[in-house]
Every structure is written in C-alpha cells, then in structure tokens.
Structure 1
Amino acid sequence: MTSLHLSPAPRFLADALPGARVRDALLVLGGVVALSILGQVAIPLPFTPVPLTLATGVVILMGAALGPTRASLSLGLHLIIGMLGAPVFAGHASGWAFASFGYLIGYIPAALLVGTLARRHADRSVWGTVGISVVGSATIYSFGVAWLVTFLGIDLAAALAIGVIPFLVGDAIKAAAAAALLPATWKAITRFSAQGAAPTRTDGYRPQPWESAR
C-alpha cells in the first residue's frame, strides 16, 4: 500500500516556502526592507501634503502573502524604526510629526484585516482580491483621514479632499495589479505542487496537491 505523508495546506503564499522560525524572521525583516525601499517611490502632489506612493499596494500584498501576524509585525517594526529616526518613510521621512503619519499607523490594522481575509482564501480569486484591496485601502484611509483632521486642524470634508479623493484612481490600479498577481501565483503554486503529488491509491483516495508521497 502506498504510504502518504500529509502536510497541511499552505494558508498564505509565504507558507509555501520551507522552514519555520527562520523563514518567518526573514520574511518579517524582508517586509521592512521592501516597504522601506518601495515606499521611497513617492510623487509629491502640489494640492495635498500626502504623497502618491506604492506603499499601500505593498501593504496589501504583504497582508495577503505573509498573513496577519507576520505582516503586522513587519509593519509595526517598520513604524518603530521610522519613529526612532531612520529615514524609512516616503521621501526619506522619519519621526511622526508630518501629515501622512496616520496612514503609516493604518498599515498595521489594514494588514491584519487583509491577512485574516486571505486566511479564508479571499486572495485566490480575482474579485476576492479586489475585495481585500478595498478593505485594506479603506482601513488605511480611515486612520490617515483621522490624523489629517487632528494634525492639520481641518474638517472631515477637507481631509477627504486632500487625503482620499486624489488617490482613488491609483488605488484602483493597485487593486487590479493585486487581482492579477495573487490568484495567478496561487494557481502556479497549486500546479507546481500537483506535479509532485502522490499517486492515486487503490482505495479511491485522491491526495491533495500539497500532500507528498513517501
């Protein structure tokens, strides 16, 4: 009889990598580095103190790919490093006394929500990925707008005008990119795993793609 070694199905893209503790530590640190680098791709806009960046898209991808725990740890570490003076925020900013700081706070709960939804396989379909992108962006905006109201002393309408509306088109593009990338990556992983799947047993059991034969 064919014996099978059953492994749990990967819940997040990062779980497809080998290892455990070392992998998780490297992924957390890698998230800090990735956000610090890609966050510097910023376009200042003359009508708002909030720059246009790739950071929100990176946060959503981190939440989906790393899961809520690893992504939030990575983003929390990134926030702490920047508050301590390292120029890791957009435009090589650091500290906390600037208009877009609220968005940085919002990255952490956004990643938690996106990762939680990804755990339920929301990132394995196009529309599911669009949905988690909307949830993640809305969470980031809620913290960013609240900070703008407090830090700049403006009303809610003004905060929405300078902190949300100018970025909606860009967010739609990021959501479309995530919707193209994440489900396709999952399909590729499943297809690759299936190539090494165990043979069908004589008792009719059909092993899953993530199960390996011994």
Structure 2
Amino acid sequence: MRIRKLALAAMLAAIIAVIAPLSIPLGPVPFTLQTLIIPLIASLVMPSVSLSAVTTYLVLGLLGLPVFAGWSSGLGAFVGPTGGYLLGMLIFPLIISAGLKQSRSITRILMLNISAALLQLAIGTIWLTFAMQISWYHGIMIGLISFIPLALIKAIIVTSLAGAVGRRISLPIYLRR
C-alpha cells in the first residue's frame, strides 16, 4: 500500500511539474496553473499523498528543474517575490485534503478550496511585500486583491472537477480518506 501511495505521489508531482510552468506574466507575480492543479489534487487524494506530491514538486524546482511559473527554478524562485506563493502551495494539501476527511460535500470542497487559496495568497503577499521592499498597501493590492477574483474562479473550477470525478470514478482504496 505504501508503494502505491509513493508511486501516486510521484505521478501527481510529475503532472504538477508539467502544468505549473504555464503562466501569464502579470508583474512580479504571474497568473499560474499551479493554483489550479495543486488544489485539484488536494481535493481528490488523501493528505499524505497530496502533501508528498506538492513537496516533491517544490524540491524538484529547488534542485533546478524548470517546473515553476515561466519555466523558472532554483533557490532564486524561493527567495524572490514569488517565494511565499511557492511555499504557500503546501497549504492546499494541509487544508483541503485534511479537511475532506470528515465530509466530501460540494459545499465543503468549495469552502476549503477558497480558504486555502486565500491563505496561500496571504502568505505570498507577506513574502512579496518584504522581498520587494514595498508598502503593505502596494503588497496587498498587487499580491492579494488582484488575485482574489482568479482564486475564486479556480476554486469553483476545482470544486466542479472534484465533484465530477468523485461521482463518476470509484476511487481505489488508497485514494479514499
């Protein structure tokens, strides 16, 4: 069973690594698909698998594989303006996967996705403000407020996809909560 979980986490990390570099530059913080694929994974698999997948993805990028937004990588991505957003990716499995252990209702999936997205944005915004040495007002405007509509849209998309997958596919035992 443990080998299946590790293999699944590795496969999911590879999927994140392929999808995550696709981005639209919007200033110091790009619009990425990281915050679509990672919450989807967290909404579908158990906490240990989703956390392992996200951690593996982050380590791959830290080691130099071009898996971050715009095909970037390395320590510079973690200490630059987007470092907090990257580290904040760990919030998704911690909040979503763990929160879905009790109930998998559509409302719960949506609320957990919105909560995790807002917390990830908040962590990223704090980091951005310090990394760029800008005022809190500017940091909040460019790092948080500007991304809230996109975060809400992504949360709705993730919830729809997770609900559809959950209804149509009988998940193997190692994916269940």
TM-score for both structures, normalised by structure 1: 0.73
Determine if contact 1:145/1:159 at 8 Å carries over to the other structure.
Answer: yes
User: What is the CA-CA distance between 1:57 and the residue it aligns to?
Assistant: 1.6
Match of 2:98 among 116, 119, 125: 116
Match of 1:68 among 39, 47, 52: 47
Aligned-partner residue type, residue 146 of structure 1: I
Measured against aligned partners, the alpha-carbon deviations of 1:104-130 in whole angstroms (never above 9, x if no partner) come to: 101113311111111122xx3322221
User: What is the CA-CA distance between 1:42 and the residue it aligns to?
Assistant: 0.2
1:144-155 correspondence to structure 2 within 5 Å:
144-155=124-135
Aligned to 1:170: 150
Distance of 2:138 and 2:9 partners within structure 1: 36
What is the Cα-based RMSD across aligned positions, in Å? 2.0
1:5-44 correspondence to structure 2 within 5 Å:
20-44=1-25
Distance of 1:109 and 1:175 partners within structure 2: 14
Percent identity of the aligned residues?
27
1:195-210 correspondence to structure 2 within 5 Å:
none
1:114-193 correspondence to structure 2 within 5 Å:
114-121=96-103, 124-189=104-169
Query: 5+ unaligned residues in a row in structure 2: which ranges?
Result: none
Determine if contact 2:39/2:93 at 8 Å carries over to the other structure.
Answer: yes
TM-score for both structures, normalised by structure 2: 0.87
Query: 5+ unaligned residues in a row in structure 1: which ranges?
Result: 1-19, 194-209
Distance of 2:46 and 2:59 partners within structure 1: 20
- Range with greater deviation from structure 2 (49-58 or 167-176): 167-176
Asked whether 1:99 is paired with 2:78, we answer no
Greater helix share, structure number: 2
Quick check: which has more Rg, 1 or 2? 1
Aligned length: 170
